[in-house]
Amino acid sequence: MSVLIYAEVSNGKLAKNAFESINYGAQTAQKLGTDAIALVLGEASDAADAGKYGVSKVLNYTGEAFKNLVPEYAVAAVVDAIEKTGADVIVFPHDYTGKAVAPMLAAKLDAGLVSGAVELPDNSNGFVVKKAVFSGKAFAHTKINTDKKIISVLPNSIGKNVGDGSAEVETVSFDVSGISTSYTVKEVKKESGEISLTEADIVVSAGRGLKGPENWGMIEELANVLGAATACSRPVADIGWRPHHEHVGQTGIAIRPNLYIAIGISGAIQHLAGVNGSKTIVVINTDPEAPFFKACDYGIVGDAFEVVPKLIEAFKKFKAEHQ
């Protein structure tokens, strides 16, 4: 019995989500009185850093097969690692990678999967995992009935605890030639320079209140000052003021940053569903009746064209004082 954590790699290093998964798995192992082992597929120069987040051992599966994500190869490697470690709890990040691999693994192992976990499992009566449902509007405490248990962790839900320590890294060369799949990654396109929306700690978002795409300069500047990613509401993406990949909401991307600043967005229920996992929400809107004011922590009733430039100056001053 042990906990195996699928620690994601991005650009040759452990991904930001990996640290949270490792934390989650290590704390779960502690709760269950067992060991946690991280599984790293592909080259990660900082694999030993997994130790800082609570595991003492890393299994690093290397080889061309793991350069990009091919779900069948990843599933086979996880199954192999489960055999090696005797793991019966397997932890994934609930992101682009976890969503590709965890369901296939669950079917392969005939194991229950709870996706989008927001807390450590409760083992006081069975094995119950709290997960976000209804786009963050509620939680379902879900019991896993199978011997093997798979959990995918909602990003930014348990945070990251960094400690000392370094993990022992065992390299495993894994042969995938016996696995037949037609799945091929032909090309990987990275958006250089931009901060990834789902990974950003701070997100600055704007809506129709901005009146036109030409007015986004101040939104980008505000984001820049804060080291934030930019986002937008659905109508703004639909009329083409901003690219679709910036659309956050129920039918766009769901995000859970520490700070979400919404400018000129009224706060329709579908928009809230995509951002209600944010730790702190700031709303700037001219309309004091905007529904978003009922779902935020801090509000400014005012004209974005006056408030945002002042806010940029105030944040600049703050940053200069807190270097």
Partner 1 sequence: MKILVLISKVPDTTAKISFTENNTKFNTEGVQFILNPYDEWYALVRGIELKEANGGSVTVLNVGRADNDPIIRKALAIGADDAVRIDTDDLDALNVAKQIAAYAKDQNYDIILCGKETIDYNGSQVGGMVAQLLGLPYVSLATKLDLNGDTATLERDIQGGSEVIEVKLPFVASAAKGMAEARIPNMRGIMAARTKPLNVVQPVDAANATEVVEYSLPPSKQGCKFIDPDNVEELVELLHTEAKVI
Task: List binders of partner 1 among 206-245 (CB under 8 A).
Answer: 226, 244-245
Q: How far is the CB of 27 from partner 1 (least distance, A)?
A: 21
At which residue do the structure tokens 């320079």 appear?
193
Contacts for 171 with CB less than 8 Å, ≥ 6 apart: 60, 62
Bridge partner residues of 151 (DSSP)? 91, 114
Closest to partner 1 by CB, 188 or 214: 188
Q: How far is the CB of 265 from partner 1 (least distance, A)?
A: 14
Closest to partner 1 by CB, 35 or 247: 247
Which residue type is seen at 2?
Answer: S
* Three-class DSSP category at 155: coil
Task: Report 281-300 residues binding partner 1 (CB under 8 A).
Answer: 281-283, 293-300
Q: How far is the CB of 71 from partner 1 (least distance, A)?
A: 6
147, burial (CB in 10 Å: exposed 0-12, middle 13-18, buried 19+): exposed
What character string, x for contact with partner 1 (CB under 8 A) and - otherwise, covers 3-42?
-----x-x----x-x-------------------------
Can residue 189 be called a binding residue for partner 1 (CB under 8 A)?
Answer: yes
Q: How far is the CB of 6 from partner 1 (least distance, A)?
A: 14
d(CA 233, CA 244) in angstroms, rounded, equals 10
Q: How far is the CB of 53 from partner 1 (least distance, A)?
A: 18
d(CA 35, CA 82) in angstroms, rounded, equals 13
Can residue 306 be called a binding residue for partner 1 (CB under 8 A)?
Answer: yes
Can residue 171 be called a binding residue for partner 1 (CB under 8 A)?
Answer: no
CA proximity to 8, closest of 25, 27, 26, 21: 21
Closest to partner 1 by CB, 175 or 306: 306
Q: Judged by CB under 8 A, which of 43, 67, 301, 305 binds partner 1? A: 301
Task: Report 68-127 residues binding partner 1 (CB under 8 A).
Answer: 68-69, 71-72, 75, 94-97, 99-108, 110-116, 126
CA angle at residue 119 from 106 to 128, to 5 degrees?
55
d(CA 115, CA 132) in angstroms, rounded, equals 8
Closest to partner 1 by CB, 165 or 195: 195
Output phi, psi for 123, to 5 deg.
-105, 20
Q: Judged by CB under 8 A, which of 46, 194, 220, 287 binds partner 1? A: 194
Bridge partner residues of 230 (DSSP)? 204
How many other C-beta atoms lie within 10 A of the C-beta of residue 258? 13
d(CA 206, CA 286) in angstroms, rounded, equals 13
Q: Which stretch binds partner 1 (CB under 8 A): 43-51, 76-84, 160-168, 196-204?
A: 196-204
Q: How far is the CB of 190 from partner 1 (least distance, A)?
A: 4
Task: Report 128-147 residues binding partner 1 (CB under 8 A).
Answer: 128, 130, 132-146
CA proximity to 184, closest of 299, 285, 67: 67
